[in-house]
Amino acid sequence: MKKILAISALFAISFSGYSQSLMEKMKHKKDSIEKHMKEKEKGGSTPALSNEEVVKGLREALTVGTNNSSGLASKLDGYYKNPRIFIPWPAEAQDMKVKLSELGMSEKVNEFETSLNRAAEEAAKSAAPVFVDAITNMSLTDGFAILKGADTAATNYLRKTTYSPLKDKFKPIVKDAIEKVKVTSYWTPLVTKYNKIPGVKKQNPDLDEYVTIKAIDGLMVLIADEEAKIRKDPAARVTDLLKKVFAK
């Protein structure tokens, strides 16, 4: 009987010690979880965005995007060696290109095509300020729609709402660039030679219009790339406001 009582007492002491140890572990775990949650609430959450911050952040994103895109496009070969924005021979004059190449003028044809891209690269140097009005006119409704939209929603907004006025503003820049890189000097001998071929349709495309449209289209492609980068890559958010808006 004494032996049984001794064993029972020993078991009770052991169980009591185990229970106390278990309770201490559970309390420690609970304290650890509560501490983690408090730290998360204190430093890990993103403050709520005001309406003003949303619109301002999106304007800032487009400003960064247009500046970076203009910088990329305006470099030597920015258009010419980028197959996504390369400006080809005018589509309506393809027959002319073929016939002149057959007459041994392929080199001159290539020189003209190069000059189109050089004009766009030159124009891109002055492109960024042209986008300013479009960016600053963004409304609150537009801002929230863009923030919740696809990776290129801001670029699509820019293209949709401002393409015509942008083209009007950009065209004189392109015209000056065309004159500076002497596009006409490459074009004139080609069109003169072609128009002397019996039976052909005379060609005289509006090169100012053509290069303007293609140059803007190319910039939009690059702006879309920049916007997607800002949305996806935290390293591309170069200001505190961009970090705050796109963290959401």
175 has a pLDDT exceeding 50? yes
Tell me what pLDDT residue 32 has. 54
Of 94 and 8, the structure prediction assigns the larger pLDDT to: 94
Q: Tell me what percent of the residues of the chain surpass a pLDDT of 90.
A: 48
Q: Same domain, yes or no, for 22 and 123?
A: no
Q: Which of 12-16, 24-28, 67-71 has the lowest mean pLDDT?
A: 12-16
Q: Same domain, yes or no, for 121 and 10?
A: no
Q: Same domain, yes or no, for 115 and 83?
A: yes
Q: Tell me what percent of the residues of the chain surpass a pLDDT of 70.
A: 81
Tell me what pLDDT residue 1 has. 56
Give the predicted TM-score (pTM) of the model. 0.76
The two tokens of residue 133 are 């009005």
Tell me what pLDDT residue 13 has. 46
Q: Same domain, yes or no, for 163 and 133?
A: yes
Give the helix ranges, DSSP H, for the chain: 2-39, 51-73, 94-102, 106-124, 132-136, 140-147, 153-180, 183-195, 207-232, 240-247
pLDDT bracket for residue 51 (50, 70, 90): confident
Cβ partners under 8 Å of residue 213, min gap 6: 167
Q: Same domain, yes or no, for 58 and 99?
A: yes
Q: Same domain, yes or no, for 9 and 87?
A: no
Q: What is the average pLDDT score of the chain?
A: 83
For residues 201 and 40, the answer to whether their CB atoms sit within 8 Å is no
DSSP 235: G
Q: Same domain, yes or no, for 140 and 195?
A: yes
Q: Same domain, yes or no, for 205 and 83?
A: yes
Q: What range defines the domain where residue 18 resides? A: 1-45
14 has a pLDDT exceeding 80? no
Domain count, the chain: 2
